[in-house]
A and B are shown apart, each in its own frame.
Chain A
Amino acid sequence: MYSLLPLLTLIVPLFSGVLCLFTCLFRFLEEFSRRMSKILLLISAALSLAPPLTMIPYCAVGEVLETTGLGLRADSSNIAALVSTAILFFLVSIYNMGAEKGGRLKPGVYNFFLLLFLCCMFGLLLSYDLFGIFLFVELVIGVSIILVAHNTIKAATEAAFKYLIITAISALFVLIGVLTIYILTGESNILHLLSDSEKQAALAENPRLLMFIVACFIVGLGADIGLVPFHGWLPDCLPASTIIINGFTAMEPIPLILALHKLVAPLYRIYPSNVMLAFMLGTGLISMIFGALMAYSQKDFFRMAAYCSIDEYGHSLFALSLLSSLEMQSFIIGQFYLINSTLAKTGLILSLGSVYFKSGSSDMDSLGGLAEKMGKTALSYVICAFSLTGIPPMSGFYAKLLFFSASYIFFYEYGNSMLAILMVTLMVCISIISFVFLTRSFHRIFLGKSRTNIDVKNDVPMLMWLPTIILAMATLVFGIRPDLLLRFISPV
């Protein structure tokens, strides 16, 4: 049904952001902007929550809310991701109240970019137009580059420049892929493309070209997400960004990975090819293995979190790429896994940020015994870490269970029972590696003897530990009642 709610979802954060920007344009508002910036961001984040929450009752009963003409559409395939992104943004905005210390950007400009970032993530989730997706992807990345450079440390500009060059080149690949589809079919709306057999035939007649388009999307969006082998920027950006920006950018993979699925899955439906599956599954598998192995050897906890993120992105992409007869289930499992891992990962990264905030160090060798002083942070860290590794009763357990089960069925259908067992064994081994490095990091940071060179007297302020505890509790709730989330996810 025609609705302005999808459009309103974009307008609210954008308009709030522009208002924040105005506060720093006029000198007489500068003082107000400096004092009120954190509250303004929190209010804007709360307001931005309203449109996605309003859409839940409609989407829960299977209705489609569409702003025709702009290619924006909210339905059961994107509402869960939309609401999770909005809630995560709101929680990190609370964290921002306690942790933000200023940086290169003026407070009003900083708020503007954060809200533009949220607007673009919403746009990416809601858009079904190829050019719309391209624009939102590039805007999300462009804004996150600026946010990385916001930190005043020297490494920030270096990391931001690396991020810019890698993603700007990858943008050209996305553009080439989008343009090729448009030139071939004359259509830019994905849903129209799927409902028009002539346009589908135009694509299906060119299988080599179709593979090339898929490759362009994987390279282009893979670099933006941080998938192996296009991940070069990610391990540098996490340690170089402020702890709050790490929290905000932790939710970025939800729209980006779903956008990659949104672009590739229709092409697979038009021309089911094993090569496409091999591209997607291969990228996911390599990211999983590489991420887990590299995270294991890190001493800096932000770099460890970066490689852990790559591992999780790999899992999510792999689950979403189990297309063929399992497409419906793979979409639900993949999105469930993606949302759960993002919840836990954001909690983990914010907890690590709290440790950095108090100790001023991210070197795990120089830390230890912080559990006594930072009990709440330690609790949220361990719950989120256990959720990421799939320990019951956290939501990660259920997500991994579904993931292993879907992988087994897929490889059983495509190969044989031996291959299926082998693949599941490999994935269990990867999870064990994750368990080892995350448990070890907890031990190195929070247990053992207190270091004399680190002077930590108490835990972070409530505004900082509260969001991490809420995220940890959310992983517990979704672990006990996964249906609370699962019932809102279904494919288009």
Chain B
Amino acid sequence: MEILSAITLVVAALITALGCFAESTRRTIILLSVQAIAIGSVTLVRCLIDLIIGLNVEALIHFFIAFAEWFSAAVVVPLILYWGVVKTENVVDAPIVGARRLAILVISTAILYMFLWIFQPQILQEEIATLSFCMLMFSFSVFLMVTRRDSLKILTGLNMAENSLYPLLAEIPIMLVPFILTLMIFVTAIGTYIIVEAYRDHGTTLVDRWRWLGN
């Protein structure tokens, strides 16, 4: 793995970890944006260099695709979530770690690392370091999702988890990238819409006040 990629992935993992302990929803969203900027920047810079050196249509298309991915993850999705905060409230809370939540976290992390163990001997030898960071970020995101009561923070955690799979998404056919991006934005928009509607119904974004978590 190149040193630049390693640095950005370490930075992204660190930002994801900070996101787990961020107290306000706004700060969590900002950290989501910064995480996406960090993860996507390597690919974006690489495409830009290719474009400057090659100056061909293929390089231009690759650059636009990389830019669209980066822009949607770092700007569009956080803005949708921020709209949710504007329409609801900026909740300030700390992570709650109970036995049940800890069990979910341990199981999900174990599954993720089992995935890495399965991958390790057979393929993607050159990708293994990148994948380790992906899994680490994914684990942090799951931690964020299971330890928070604020629905917007849970949704932000979900987006952080999606962002952590970004290096894998680089493999998909170019033609499908716009569809995948639209889908990710669509899911975030649905989630935010539901939270705003739930806020209108219940006057809170805290899920433990909602019936399904047994208020």
Contact = CB atoms under 8 A, between A and B. Distances in A.
Interface of A: 104, 131, 135, 138-139, 142, 145-146, 149, 154-155, 157-162, 164-165, 168-169, 171-172, 175-176, 179, 182-184, 188, 205-206, 208-209, 212, 236
Contacts of B64: none
B161 A169 contact: yes
B207 interface: yes
A146 B194 CA distance: 8
The 8 A-B pairs with the shortest beta carbon distances in the complex, nearest first, are: A157-B198, A158-B210, A154-B201, A131-B176, A158-B212, A157-B197, A160-B194, A206-B122
A145 B145 contact: no
A161 B207 contact: yes
Contact of B183 (A138, A212, A236): A138
A236 B197 contact: no
B190 A164 contact: yes
A10 to B, nearest CB: 14
Interface in B166-183: 168-169, 171-173, 176, 179-180, 183
A357 B75 CA distance: 45
B35 interface: no
A169 B154 CA distance: 11
B115 interface: yes
B193 interface: yes
B33 interface: no
Given A161-B191, A164-B191, A236-B212, A149 B197 contact: yes
Contact of B124 (A161, A175, A183): A183
A182 B171 contact: yes
A206 B123 contact: yes
B183 A142 contact: yes
24 contacts: A104-B197, A131-B172, A131-B180, A138-B183, A139-B186, A142-B187, A145-B194, A149-B197, A154-B201, A157-B194, A157-B210, A158-B210, A160-B194, A161-B207, A164-B187, A164-B191, A176-B165, A184-B123, A205-B122, A208-B122, A209-B118, A209-B123, A212-B115, A236-B212
A142 B171 contact: no
Contacts of A145: 190, 194
Given A131-B172, A142-B187, A142-B190, 5 more contacts: A149-B197, A161-B198, A171-B187, A184-B123, A209-B118
A184 B171 CA distance: 11
Name the residue in B155, B190, B194, B210 with the highest tally of chain A Cβ atoms < 10 Å from its Cβ. B194
Contacts of B197: 104, 149, 157
A177 to B, nearest CB: 11
A165 B186 contact: no
B151 interface: yes
Contacts of B123: 183-184, 206, 209
A188 B179 CA distance: 15
Contacts of B207: 161
B195 interface: yes
A384 B193 CA distance: 36
Interface of B: 115, 118-119, 122-124, 145, 151, 154-155, 158, 161-162, 165, 168-169, 171-173, 176, 179-180, 183, 186-187, 190-191, 193-195, 197-198, 201-202, 207, 210-212
A179 B176 CA distance: 12
A135 B123 CA distance: 26
B202 to A, nearest CB: 7
Contact of A165 (B145, B176, B179, B180): B145
A149 B194 contact: yes
A244 B158 CA distance: 30
Nearest to A183: B171
B151 A154 contact: no
B118 A212 contact: yes
A208 B123 CA distance: 11
Contacts of B193: 146, 149
A209 B119 contact: yes
Tell me which of A149, A154, A164, A175 has the highest count of chain B C-beta atoms within 10 A of its own C-beta: A164
Given A131-B176, A165-B154, A188-B173, A172 B165 contact: yes
A158 B183 contact: no
Contacts of A172: 161-162, 165
A139 B183 CA distance: 7
A106 B51 CA distance: 46
A115 B187 CA distance: 18
B165 A175 contact: yes
B211 to A, nearest CB: 6
Contacts of A138: 183, 187
Q: Which of B155, B161, B198 has the most CB of A within 10 A?
A: B198
